Chain A
Amino acid sequence: MNRALAVILGIALLFGIQTGCGTKGGLDPDRPVTLTLWHNYGGQMKETMDLMVDEFNETVGAEKGIIINVTSVSSSDALHEKLVMIANGDAGAPEMPDIATANPKTAVILADKGLLTDLKSLFAENELDAYLPRFLEEGMLGTDHLYIFPTAKSTEVVFLNKTVFDRFSKDTGASYDDLATFEGIARTAALYYDWTDAQTPDIPRDGKTFYHADSLFNLTQIGCRQLGGDFIKEGRPDYSSEEFQKVRDYFFDSAVRGHFAVFDGYASDLFKTGEIICSTGSTAGVLFFDPVVTYPDNTTERVELMILPYPTFAGGEKVAVQRGGGMIVPKTDDAKAYAAGIFLKWFTSPENNLRFVSFTGYLPVTKEAFGEIMTKEIDVVQDRNIRSLLETSIIMQAEYDFFIPLLFDGMDVVQDQYTKELMNSVSDARTAQGIQ
């Protein structure tokens, strides 16, 4: 009798184990958990991101019980604004997503309010060892916690409308080497202005702008750094340093003459309409450079994009900014956090990371993907611009120091204020000199 009872209880226990322990990390393939995702991989990158999300959902997601649901594809500025609205509890703020792409300036606001998951809890130490340490460091926001998981990083490079530049070069002798320094860019910009002005002799001073810096704040920070100084000191901009004056004067003088654009937007906008042919900006912006330039009379020209390493100030060190955020996981329940960790691991696995990089122009984040794999795979990258970008990135990785911009309270405001004041001062000077 006792043996019979033991058998019955044994079966019952086994049954209980099978039904009670069928899930891992709270996940169940029969009852999948849905994670909402906001990302800024829009435009030409959207398709790649959509495909990767779909692939995850159909493979690892289906196996583990995770569905990634993209509920916002916006610019990083728009995502920043939405996330800050949520953090501040503003009226009309949307619901917090489960995963979002974010820059440090966004993440630091959310982290300060205790809204972010420490991603170290989702990764084993040896798993984190696979990622480039400086990328992880940036995601720690100066704390012991990992708030931004590096998914795709970027730096700044020179983008050049090679087609137009070659025509210009043929007439004037300007060369690509001139674009290796900021001073060289200024000289070339002056030459370009004169060259374009000369094409319409009947209209005086209608030369074209040559160059635009996507971020004047970055230009100033990196410029100062290259020259051995710091623009931000103790959480405030230092306007008194010699380095700052040199960088500011550099931009101001060329901008007032109309050689540099004064524009509160991305250079890719001005490229589309042929208003400029050279810029410095994030590698992640490569897909925003339209291969077709549309002129005011609606005629179009197919152009070739050239990518060159970030310029340096004469006598300065080779320093470039490290940009691009990563993904944050706002605080959520354990199952969702665990699921988010699985997605991040999948998304940044060397093969997937490199695939994403190959179609978007971001830089890989794992040592493996950044190293031998990228060097080997670069030839199979279909997009010519991205291939050129990766080649340039490899050169820069070897030759440049990468500067992680410091985070400080009110940096958003300081950045906006600085940019507006500099642009306004240029506009005022132009008006005073009667320049359009």
Chain B
Amino acid sequence: MNFVEGKEVHKAFTLRFKLFLLLTLLIVSILFSVIVILTATGTLTAGLRETERDMKAELNRFRSDIIEQFGQVSAHTVQFSKDLSREIERELALMGLTPPELRDHPEVLESLIGEEYERSLFAMQRANGSGVFFILDATVNPLLINAKNSRTGLYIKNMEPNIIHAASDYILILRGFSSVGRQNGVTLHSQWRMEFDVADADYFRAPMDAAKNTDLPLSRLYYWSAAAALPGTAEQVMLCSAPLIDSAGNVFGVCGFEVSSMLFKLSHMPESDLSQRAVCILAPGTDRELYISQAMVAGGYSVRSFKEQNQLLTIRENEPFHSYREQNGTLYSGFHVPIPLYPDGSAFEKEKWTAALIIPDDDISASVVSMNLKLLGLFFGLLVIGISISYFLSRKFLTPFSRGVEIIKSKDYVARTNVPEIDDLIEFLSSDQGGKESKKKTKHRNHDALPESVYEEFVRNTKRLSPAERAVFNLYVEGYTAKEITSILCLSINTIKTHNKRIYMKLNVASREELLVYVNILREAGKEI
């Protein structure tokens, strides 16, 4: 708003600015419509749905792999138990002993166990386990104070179970006679002990008790222990164990295989595309809680915080993701499915295991925010481009108008803008102006007549006009405008313009107005044109 001499003056918007606003509004409307369409069709939440789909697919893959791996180890455990039971019984028979008599003959243990090293190692390699063990229900020294919880046996660990080439550097003796290691060129594990401490060893007690208390076949007696570190060791392992039973049905120990946390991790790492912090979990638990401290975990991201400080992950089945909350409040999103580690009719079929794929909740929020920020960025970019285009288009579009105004202001009616409508306006203005000018000139010539020779030459020059030019000229003489001439002669304005140029050139005039001045003077003089 301007104030001129005390009056309030509204500054009118220029046509260019109005056009700019119009185009901008059009672009904004289009973009807004696109957003509305994307929202209505759910495209804006596609990332979330895609994450959900990918996670479910990954969980299915994880579930299949778990069932295959743990099923394979379970089957090998049963077979190993059959083979080992038979071999130990046979070995003892050669010594005139039976398995139940082992407790009273500790002197045979070292050689008996040493004999089974190769078989055990081979079984471990076939089962693709990270360790193999067998525990006999006997101890080297029954007189020791802790003898009731000390059991002899052998535990071989493969430190690199994912490497096909099984070099001796990878094989260590975790439990057993040191002589077994020496004889086979195998080093003792840094946390080696001669015997197993079975005080809290469910992998020892559970299958033996099940075998003693039921009539189930061996295939229904194997047992999976929850993930835990053996006494004095650092790595968490899950052990699959089955009872050793002689031909008379006497239970005299257990055997089985180990799945170490490293083997589990390397076997079940989630796809990195999903999230770098995605974690696959195999845990005992139900639909409501996962006993995470007893779980096997595979993932690049550290899960120690909840593995060590908390016992449970509480599950809430929200949409679209289930939520998993640690006791300290950290929240994860993901999905879970039950895992059947035991067949129907197993002594342990009531034990529930669950496979879950979880991602820190922040990561999912971050991915959605990130995706929406990208969309926002894209729309913003398009908006800026649209506004820029509007600016340039409005400027370009109105340039001929500005040019036309300039022409009219300068009264240079010969110049043209190449926009027919504007040129017509100029033409119109020029003819109107021409009439006024000719009247002025007539008055003027009445007072100051030009030399006769000038008019004679004009008349002579009219003879040089072509028939087409003559036709146009005649119509000018009769007072028609250029536009009217186009209608009469059925010619285009451009053709008329061409004729005009040639007529002006031949008659030596600069414009239609000048031409009409000559015509009027000659008419007044009674001369024939």
- Is A266 positioned at the interface, with any CB of B under 8 Å from its CB? yes
The reply to whether B277 and A53 contact each other, CB–CB distance below 8 Å, is: no
The reply to whether A32 and B277 contact each other, CB–CB distance below 8 Å, is: yes
The reply to whether B193 and A294 contact each other, CB–CB distance below 8 Å, is: yes
- Is A249 positioned at the interface, with any CB of B under 8 Å from its CB? no
Query: When chains A and B are docked, how far (Å) is the Cα of A368 from the Cα of B167?
Result: 40
- Is A31 positioned at the interface, with any CB of B under 8 Å from its CB? yes
| A12 surroundings in chain B (CB, below 8 A) | 380-381, 384
- Is A78 positioned at the interface, with any CB of B under 8 Å from its CB? yes
- Is B162 positioned at the interface, with any CB of A under 8 Å from its CB? yes
Q: Which of A68-76, A140-148, A402-410 touches B?
A: A68-76
- Is A163 positioned at the interface, with any CB of B under 8 Å from its CB? no
Query: When chains A and B are docked, how far (Å) is the Cα of A15 from the Cα of B262?
Result: 44
State which of B16, B141, B366, B388 has its C-beta within 8 Å of the C-beta of A297. Answer: B141
The reply to whether A298 and B169 contact each other, CB–CB distance below 8 Å, is: no
Query: When chains A and B are docked, how far (Å) is the Cα of A71 from the Cα of B161?
Result: 12
The reply to whether A75 and B169 contact each other, CB–CB distance below 8 Å, is: yes
- Is B310 positioned at the interface, with any CB of A under 8 Å from its CB? no
The reply to whether B380 and A15 contact each other, CB–CB distance below 8 Å, is: yes
Query: Residues 73-91 of chain A: 1 if any B CB is under 8 Å from the residue's CB, otherwise 0?
Result: 1110110011001000011
Chain B residue, CB-CB nearest to A56: B302
| B370 surroundings in chain A (CB, below 8 A) | 30
- Is B265 positioned at the interface, with any CB of A under 8 Å from its CB? yes
State which of A53, A78, A268 has its C-beta within 8 Å of the C-beta of B159. Answer: A78
Q: Which of A41-49, A171-179, A187-195, A230-238 touches B?
A: A41-49
- Is B29 positioned at the interface, with any CB of A under 8 Å from its CB? no
Query: Residues 187-198 of chain B: 1 if any A CB is under 8 Å from the residue's CB, otherwise 0?
Result: 111111111000
Within the complex, the shortest CB–CB distance from B223 to chain A, in Å, comes to 26
The reply to whether A272 and B272 contact each other, CB–CB distance below 8 Å, is: no
Interface residues on A, range: 35 or more
In residues 226-262 of chain B, which contact A (Cβ within 8 Å)?
234-235, 262
State which of B162, B276, B302, B391 has its C-beta within 8 Å of the C-beta of A53. Answer: B302
- Is B122 positioned at the interface, with any CB of A under 8 Å from its CB? no
The reply to whether B165 and A71 contact each other, CB–CB distance below 8 Å, is: no
State which of A8, A54, A287 has its C-beta within 8 Å of the C-beta of B304. Answer: A54
- Is A433 positioned at the interface, with any CB of B under 8 Å from its CB? no
Chain A residue, CB-CB nearest to B20: A1
- Is A379 positioned at the interface, with any CB of B under 8 Å from its CB? no
Chain A residue, CB-CB nearest to B366: A30
Interface residues on B, range: 35 or more
- Is A416 positioned at the interface, with any CB of B under 8 Å from its CB? no
Query: When chains A and B are docked, how far (Å) is the Cα of A19 from the Cα of B276?
Result: 21
A82-B160, A269-B188 as given contacts; A92 in contact with B304, CB under 8 Å? no
Within the complex, the shortest CB–CB distance from B147 to chain A, in Å, comes to 9
- Is B387 positioned at the interface, with any CB of A under 8 Å from its CB? yes
A43-B191, A287-B190 as given contacts; A71 in contact with B169, CB under 8 Å? no
| B188 surroundings in chain A (CB, below 8 A) | 269, 272
- Is A265 positioned at the interface, with any CB of B under 8 Å from its CB? yes
Query: Residues 269-306 of chain A: 1 if any B CB is under 8 Å from the residue's CB, otherwise 0?
Result: 10011000000000000011010001001110000000
The reply to whether A46 and B141 contact each other, CB–CB distance below 8 Å, is: no
Chain B residue, CB-CB nearest to A94: B163
The reply to whether B170 and A78 contact each other, CB–CB distance below 8 Å, is: yes
| A50 surroundings in chain B (CB, below 8 A) | 304
State which of A1, A43, A67, A82 has its C-beta within 8 Å of the C-beta of B163. Answer: A82
Known: A15-B380, A44-B234. 18 other contacts (CB 8 A): A5-B388, A12-B380, A31-B276, A42-B234, A44-B190, A54-B302, A54-B305, A57-B302, A73-B159, A74-B159, A74-B170, A75-B159, A77-B169, A92-B163, A94-B162, A287-B190, A294-B178, A298-B140
Residues of B within 8 A of A (CB): 16-17, 20, 139-141, 144, 150, 159-160, 162-165, 167, 169-170, 178, 181, 185, 187-195, 234-235, 262, 265-266, 272, 276-277, 300-302, 304-305, 366, 370, 373, 377, 380-381, 384, 387-388, 391
**17 A-B residue contacts at CB 8 Å?**
A19-B377, A33-B276, A43-B189, A44-B234, A46-B234, A67-B301, A71-B262, A71-B265, A72-B160, A92-B164, A94-B163, A272-B178, A288-B190, A290-B190, A294-B178, A294-B193, A298-B150
